[in-house]
Amino acid sequence: MSKVLHNTLRSYVNLTTLGENCLFVKCFSSSSPRYRAKIIDGVKIARDIRNELKAEVNEWVAHGNRQPHLTAILVGEDQASHAYVSAKMKAAKYVGITSETIKLPATISETSLLSYIDQLNNDNGVDGILVQLPLPEHITERAICNAVTPHKDVDGFHIVNVGRFCLDMKTLVPCTPLGVHELIKRSGVPTLGKNAVVCGRSKNVGMPIAMLLHADGTGETGAMDATTTICHRYTPADQLAMLTRTADIIVTAVGIPNLIRADMVKEGVCIIDVGITRVKDEKTGKDRLVGDVDFDAVVEKAGHITPVPGGVGPMTVAMLMKNTLLAARKEVVYNILDPGAVVQKKASQLRP
Amino acid sequence: MSKVLHNTLRSYVNLTTLGENCLFVKCFSSSSPRYRAKIIDGVKIARDIRNELKAEVNEWVAHGNRQPHLTAILVGEDQASHAYVSAKMKAAKYVGITSETIKLPATISETSLLSYIDQLNNDNGVDGILVQLPLPEHITERAICNAVTPHKDVDGFHIVNVGRFCLDMKTLVPCTPLGVHELIKRSGVPTLGKNAVVCGRSKNVGMPIAMLLHADGTGETGAMDATTTICHRYTPADQLAMLTRTADIIVTAVGIPNLIRADMVKEGVCIIDVGITRVKDEKTGKDRLVGDVDFDAVVEKAGHITPVPGGVGPMTVAMLMKNTLLAARKEVVYNILDPGAVVQKKASQLRP
């Protein structure tokens, strides 16, 4: 018996004792190193979704509808923002969504920006409106987010969409949380009754991800029924490690490289890394992007893991396309001012 | 040395080793049994709040304003609903809020009910509107909740109020979560960076409590900065116990008697029991109300605990009065349709 196989079998005995043989058997039967995680390929999954959406758009147009249309508003000269919007418009073109980018100077007043949005709200040729954040300091982001009419709010930032989402009603959900949800679903990772830990409580990412993880799977957002812990800047390091060690799923969206280390996770965990930080590579001296996870070490222990870049990032763009199609089809029925028409599960019918 | 004191001192040594002397010293210096919890007296705290509100209402009226006015709509003959509304109206009278109860038959149509609400929405003499839930099966609760104009929605159930709340903006917050928040604050229990566990994920109680526990204390809802875990029907019993044992604060809102037992909590924990279940007392044969906590056992181990009844219940009513005064003073500025006027922290200024 070769030494490697001998060690492997010895490990098998130990692991069976620990009740973790199931995962082991999976790895044992493959040629990959023991516990080497399945890399969740966000680039590929996003491409699959774009192709699915392309087919849906084709069908929509084949039924006599015009192509969905997305308009982006880009304020100022921030390079990253320009790159993001450009990627979104490229994706739109691929799936058959027509698009336009309105570029405005950083000096634009809030009132002028609001009047651009108002015009787009009233333009029947526009299905989705996207105002690229961040905005210059003198503009109130919340005012802008609320100015986009809810049914064109493909970023899911309008207060009515947030309310609907938190009540588990069908709505336009923010793209990054939606992308995280999709990555977990498409990876086949079980979530019902599992332990999930979310690091970060931002209103656009951490909070909605915690909503999607913990809420009732029979609700309109198709949530994941996981026991869910929200950690944040005031979670002490030892408590964070205690919690992540019990987690079956970790979603981290903090922007602190190496926040999640191998000694902080259990074997087989699914890790979705939403963090993006630019660091200088010590070997090459060049800048590179890293997430919140010590990837090289954790990949040896996790069951599933997203890389950075190439994990959540491409999904955010794909989900924006999904929301634009949803908006074009008017799938979300807004009846807040016509409440008699609301057809929704009673809160008491959701499973607490 | 008396035997009791000897035992006490022996415990002191053990406990010091465990690093729990701080709590012990507190108990050691009192005449109460070791670790006997401080009972959080919801009846007294609610009375304090009613008296504070009474003074505020007096001041409001002294400045030339009319008394705040609360209108309740009560549909059908449910005894518990009648008792709740009656308690609310009694509290209103005490604090100087005028009130009216509109009693409607269980057979009323949704359209008729909506037209009653519409009339109240347009009545300048009405500050707060409360539709007592549950409603008959043929009426859609969400439609009714959305029909009450947000600035009179003293139950905090309108989708715009839910959205504002989840984004940490000043708003009318549902009364029970607000009462739980107030009980924790007034008990002086520290929350920043502590571990909180919420049992139950209902949209009116569990979910908003989790929001108040985890969110940024510098936000407009004055949240508690705790690491927060949401447990629910799919949380396995062993995982629930593991999580509650690490909790500094447990809020349970499930309706399962003895869900939380003494072996599931750590010494000194603060427990807020929102559960209410009617059970038959084995000794007396009479019905009595119990919460989710095995009170008699847990009280010997907890640091703070609410009784049932007499804990959260009275606070819900007191918070309704607080919301009615807030509504009368128009303290929440709704500008969702006039977003240029919004003055709010940028999401990026909240601490993730």
A144 reaches B (C-beta below 8 A): yes
Q: Which of A229, A277, A335, A345 to mutate to test the interface with B (most CBs of B within 10 A)?
A: A229
Of A231, A253, A340, the CB nearest to B143: A340
- Give A285 to chain B, closest Cα distance, Å: 30
CB contact (8 A) between residue A142 and residue B167: yes
* Candidates A144, A166, A342; nearest CB to B142: A342
d(CA A134, CA A141): 8
Partners of B111 on chain A (C-beta within 8 Å) are 340
- Sorted by sequence, the CB contacts under 8 Å of residue A23 that are 6+ apart come out as A15, A35, A267, A268, A303
Q: From A160, which residue of chain B is nearest by alpha-carbon distance? A: B160
Around Cβ B292, how many Cβ atoms within 10 Å?
25
Q: Rounded CA gap, B76 and A16, in Å?
A: 60
* Residue A166 and residue B162 in contact, taking contact as beta carbons nearer than 8 Å: yes
What is the number of CB-based contacts under 8 A between chain A and chain B? 199
Residues of B in contact with A214 (CB under 8 A): 201, 230, 232
Question: DSSP string of B9-53?
Answer: HHHHHHHHHTT-HHHHHHHHTSSSPTTPPEE--HHHHHHHHHHHH
- Domains of chain A with CATH codes: 65-154 (3.40.50.10860), 174-315 (3.40.50.720)
Are the CB atoms for A212 and A156 separated by under 8 Å?
A: no
Tell if the CB–CB gap between B339 and A114 is shorter than 8 Å.
yes
| Dihedral angle over CA of A22, A26, A32, A33, nearest 10 | 10
Catalytic residues of B, by residue number, are 88, 132, 155
Q: What is the pLDDT of residues A54-92, one digit of tens each?
A: 999 999 999 999 999 999 999 999 999 999 999 999 999
Which residues partner with A277 through β-bridges?
A290
Q: Report strand pairing: B69-75 vs A128-131.
A: unpaired
Q: Cβ of B352 and A232 within 8 Å?
A: yes
What pLDDT, on a 0 to 100 scale, did the predictor assign at position A4?
A: 38
pLDDT the model gives residue B13: 31
Terminal-residue alpha carbon distance, chain A: 54
Which chain B residues touch A207 with a CB distance below 8 Å? 166
- Looking at the partner chain, which of A159, A206, A352 has a beta carbon nearest the beta carbon of B163? A159
| A65 and B CB contact within 8 Å | no
Tell me the residue type at A108. I
Q: What is the pLDDT of residue A234?
A: 98
SS3 track for chain A: CCHHHHHHHHHHHHHHHCCCHHHHHHHHCCCCCCCCCEECCHHHHHHHHHHHHHHHHHHHHHCCCCCCEEEEEEECCCHHHHHHHHHHHHHHHHHCCEEEEEEECCCCCHHHHHHHHHHHHCCCCCCEEEECCCCCCCCCHHHHHHHCCHHHECCCCCHHHHHHHHCCCCCCCCHHHHHHHHHHHHCCCCCCCCEEEEECCCCCCHHHHHHHHHCCCCCCCCCCCCEEEEECCCCCHHHHHHHHHCCCEEEECCCCCCCECHHHCCCCCEEEECCCEEEECCCCCCEEEECCECHHHHCCCCCEECCCCCCHHHHHHHHHHHHHHHHHCCCCCCCCCCHHHCCCCCHHHCCC
Distance in angstroms (rounded) separating the CA atoms of residues B248 and B266: 8
Find out whether A49 and A32 touch, Cβ atoms under 8 Å: no
Q: Smallest CA–CA separation between B40 and chain A, in Å?
A: 26
CB-CB neighbors (< 8 A) of B169 in chain A: 142, 159
Amino acid at A263: D
Per residue of chain B (352 residues), give pLDDT as tens.
344 333 333 333 333 333 332 233 333 334 444 568 999 999 999 999 999 999 999 999 999 999 999 999 999 999 999 999 999 999 999 999 999 999 999 999 999 999 999 999 999 999 999 999 999 999 999 899 999 999 999 999 999 999 999 999 999 999 999 999 999 999 999 999 999 999 999 999 999 999 999 999 999 999 999 999 999 999 999 999 999 999 999 999 999 999 999 999 999 999 999 999 999 988 999 999 999 999 999 999 999 999 999 999 999 999 999 999 999 999 998 864 443 333 334 444 567 6
CA gap A259, A261 in Å, rounded: 6
Question: What residues of B are in contact with residue A343 (Cβ under 8 Å)?
Answer: 140
Contact A143 B342 (CB under 8 A): yes
Residues of chain A with pLDDT under 50: 1-33, 336-348
Contacts of B7 (CB under 8 A, 6+ apart): none
A31: Cβ contacts below 8 Å, ≥ 6 apart = none
The CA distance from A86 to the nearest CA of chain B, in Å, is: 23
**pTM listed for this prediction:** 0.88
Active site residue A132: yes
B14-27 burial, b at 16+ Cβ within 10 Å, e below that, comes to: ebeeeeeeeebeeb
Q: What is the dihedral angle through the alpha carbons of A155, A160, A166, A167, rounded to the nearest 10 degrees?
A: -140
**pLDDT for A350:** 61
Give the closest residue to A185 by CA, choosing from A66, A118, A270, A96. Answer: A270
* Preferred mutation among A131, A146, A216 to probe B, highest tally of B CBs within 10 A: A146
A273 catalytic? Reply is no
A322 in reach of chain B (CB within 8 A): no
Which one of A227, A234, A335 has the shortest CB-CB distance to B192?
A234
**Residues in chain A, overall count:** 352
A149–chain B Cβ distance below 8 A for any pair: no
Q: How far is A2 from chain B (nearest CA, A)?
A: 40
Q: Given B225, B239, B246, which is nearest A195 (Cβ)? A: B239
pLDDT of residue A148: 94
List B residues 153-212 in contact with A (Cβ-Cβ < 8 A). Answer: 158-164, 166-169, 192-193, 195, 200-204, 206-207, 210
Decide if A333 touches B, using CB distance below 8 A: no
Closest approach of chain B CAs to the CA of A245, in angstroms? 12
Closest CA relative to residue B270, chosen from B69, B30, B38, B19:
B38
Closest Cβ–Cβ partner in A158, A200, A243 for B352:
A200
What is the spatial distance between Cα B94 and Cα A181, in angstroms, rounded to a whole number?
Answer: 49
Whole-number CA gyration radius for chain A: 22
Residue of A159, A169, A243 with shortest CB distance to B336: A159
**Plot region of B111 (φ>0 → left; ψ -120 to 50 → alpha; else → beta):** alpha
A40 within 8 A of A179, measured Cβ to Cβ? no
* Residue in chain B nearest A162 by alpha carbon: B163
**Are residues B27 and B36 in contact, defined by beta-carbon separation less than 8 angstroms?**
yes
Q: In sequence order, what DSSP letters do the residues of B181-244 get, joined into one string?
A: HHHHHHTT---TT-EEEEE---TTTHHHHHHHHHS-TTSTT-----EEEEE-TTS-HHHHHHHH
Structure tokens at B1: 């040395």
Q: How many residues does chain B have?
A: 352
Q: Find the closest chain B residue to A200 by CA distance.
A: B352
Residue of A nearest to B342 (CA): A143
Selected catalytic residue, list A127, A152, A153, A155: A155
Distance from CA of B271 to the nearest CA of A (A): 18
